[in-house]
Amino acid sequence: MPNKQKDVTLLPFVLLYTTDTFNVPDAITVYAEDSEKAEESFISAFPDASVVWIVQTASIEDAYTAYHEESAIEEAV
């Protein structure tokens, strides 16, 4: 019987998240088809955590940089 599974490209996403006991964002890299699926997978694995930022990159450093740049823009407005 032929395998009818479609080819799926998994992309790296860095999620910054907080928990009830730790409000400074921590980071994790998740591979998924898109950011929505990455977030769903993360929430499924860590239901008590809150995602505060998600960006398509394999670099946690780049994700923190983008997060802090965006936060600075929001604070300036």
Task: Report the distance separating Cα 38 and Cα 35, nearest Å.
Answer: 5
Q: In what order do the strands lie in the sheet with 50-55?
A: 22-32, 11-19, 50-55
Task: Report the distance separating Cα 1 and Cα 4, nearest Å.
Answer: 9
The number of beta carbons lying within 10 Å of the beta carbon of residue 31 is: 13
pTM over 0.85: no
Domain extent at residue 48: 11-76
Domain count, the chain: 1
Asked if residue 69 belongs to a domain, the reply is: yes
For position 70, what pLDDT does the model report? 84
Q: What is the pLDDT of residues 15-69, one digit of tens each?
A: 999 999 988 999 999 999 999 999 999 999 999 999 999 999 999 999 999 999 9
Asked if residue 58 belongs to a domain, the reply is: yes
CB 63 within 8 A of CB 55: yes
